[in-house]
Amino acid sequence: MEVSAPLGFDPADPGFLADPYPELARLRESARVFHDEGWGRWFVTRHEDVRSCLRDKRLGRNFRHVMTPEEIGVPPLDPRWQSFWQTERWSLLWLEPPDHTRIRKLVAAAFTPRSVESLREPSAELARELLEPLAEAGEMELLYDYAQPYSIAVICRMLGVPLDRHRDLLDWSHRMVKMYEFDVPLEAAEAANRAAAEFTEYVQELIRERRARPRDDMVTALVEAEVDGARLSDDEIVSTVIVLLNAGHEATVNTLGNGMLAFARHPDQWRRIVDGDVPPAGAVEEMIRFDPPLQLFERWVLADDVAVGDAAIPRGNKIAMLFGSANRDPRVFERPHEFDVGREDAAQHIGFGGGIHVCIGAPLARIELEASVEALRSLWPDFALVEEPRRTGAFVIWGLERLKLARG
């Protein structure tokens, strides 16, 4: 049996949050899967198992299409957070087939290689536009001054959402994603619910406008789309727009923060980028592998015969797949704890997931990240940390509170 001694970890522990990788390595080398009583979940630690769980049809992001909460002893969704649950109700991230297949097909139609590729040039221009004045000023807080306005502008452009309320969009999103952490304090849940209500109202207004005056954008496409003769409901469109806006910048912004911190700590690797020895595209894969912006994703066990290694995992249980641990698995990556932008195995990382929920925005994220690294390499060839950055305190959505950089 793999799980002889009880293993566990505390994702809220400041020591763990300062650098989770030694602890994740200890867990990974002790067991490929373990059950944590406190968190009521099974944790999967190794690359091979995370990869196969992501593709396993007996596991689902949701269970409500096949089981009731009572059947598996899960408390009902807290009715106080109704606005939040309503935005999640039709989110791709919460759906399973056939609803997932139906809505994903519509969204995929907008993310064709050609339409995403058409954003490459504008993304590169925008990166320079934002970074040039910051380079002149000589100092910036990478996330607030650059990564957030940059990434939200790119996804808004793709969707056809006006940019005038971009700080509201960021604020709603930041409050809502706190609901993905393990332990959500009451005030955080209240704030997430209020954000969801405001965000919903905003998107409903946008839908009314596009219905009255259609444009060549994705919101209009969702309003007009038909699958098997049926249109999407307004609730489905609201959830879809919100998940695209939120997923479309949170992870990209945190990849830039985590990645540029890795460069600040490994100036020899930054030199390889600045000198043109390694193209930005290679660096992007290593940034995601080395310190991924999403540390875990979960699945419900929907069938009776599921096992990871020797551990049988009962139907109705929850599995958490540790991406950060899988990305440092020595069974797949040579010298896994080394940040090496030239490594050939970087693209094996699990950062974008896999299976039916694999990140639909990955090609866009890669374009944005490459354009950012390219602009930074030419405009900020030398930089240093102004202060020791602090983590946000959250583990699942893994990022920095601030990253202040000064130009050398």
Please report, in angstroms and rounded to a whole number, the separation of the first and last CA atoms in the chain.
54
Residue 306, exposed/middle/buried by CB under 10 A (0-12, 13-18, 19+)? Answer: buried
Q: Are 31 and 2 in contact (CB under 8 A)?
A: yes
Q: Are 155 and 245 in contact (CB under 8 A)?
A: yes
**Smallest gap from residue 350 Cβ to ligand HEM (A):** 8
Return the residue matching tokens 């540790």: 322
Please report, for residues 139, 159, 262, 266, 335, the alpha-carbon distance to residue 384 in angstroms, rounded to integers and kept in the order given.
Answer: 10, 35, 12, 11, 26
- Residues contributing to the site for ligand HEM (CB under 6 A): 61, 92-93, 104, 155, 243-244, 247-248, 251-252, 255, 288, 293-294, 297, 351-353, 357, 359-361, 364-365
**Smallest gap from residue 349 Cβ to ligand HEM (A):** 9
Q: Are 182 and 39 in contact (CB under 8 A)?
A: yes
**Separation of CA 268 from chain center:** 28
**Smallest gap from residue 54 Cβ to ligand HEM (A):** 6
> How many CB atoms within 10 Å of residue 73?
8
Cβ closest to ligand HEM, residue 27 vs residue 103: 103
**Smallest gap from residue 229 Cβ to ligand HEM (A):** 23
Cβ closest to ligand HEM, residue 20 vs residue 135: 20
Cβ closest to ligand HEM, residue 135 vs residue 262: 262
Cβ closest to ligand HEM, residue 3 vs residue 347: 347
Spatial neighbors of 268 by CB under 8 A, at least 6 apart, are none
**CA separation for the pair 313, 304 (Å, rounded):** 8
**Smallest gap from residue 93 Cβ to ligand HEM (A):** 5
Cβ closest to ligand HEM, residue 248 vs residue 257: 248
**Smallest gap from residue 343 Cβ to ligand HEM (A):** 18
**Smallest gap from residue 140 Cβ to ligand HEM (A):** 20
DSSP labels, 200-260? HHHHHHHHHHHHHS--SSHHHHHHH-EETTEEPPHHHHHHHHHHHHHHHHHHHHHHHHHHH
Cβ closest to ligand HEM, residue 135 vs residue 369: 369
Cβ closest to ligand HEM, residue 135 vs residue 179: 179
**Smallest gap from residue 81 Cβ to ligand HEM (A):** 20
Cβ closest to ligand HEM, residue 62 vs residue 135: 62
Nearest to ligand HEM by Cβ — which residue? 361
Cβ closest to ligand HEM, residue 135 vs residue 253: 253
**Smallest gap from residue 150 Cβ to ligand HEM (A):** 12
Q: Which of 181, 144, 137, 188 is nearest to 166 (CA)?
A: 144
DSSP strand pairing (318-322 vs 41-44): parallel
- Counting every residue written for the chain, the total comes to 408
**CA separation for the pair 105, 100 (Å, rounded):** 8
Q: Which of 354, 165, 217, 372 is nearest to 287 (CA)?
A: 372
Q: Are 219 and 210 in contact (CB under 8 A)?
A: yes
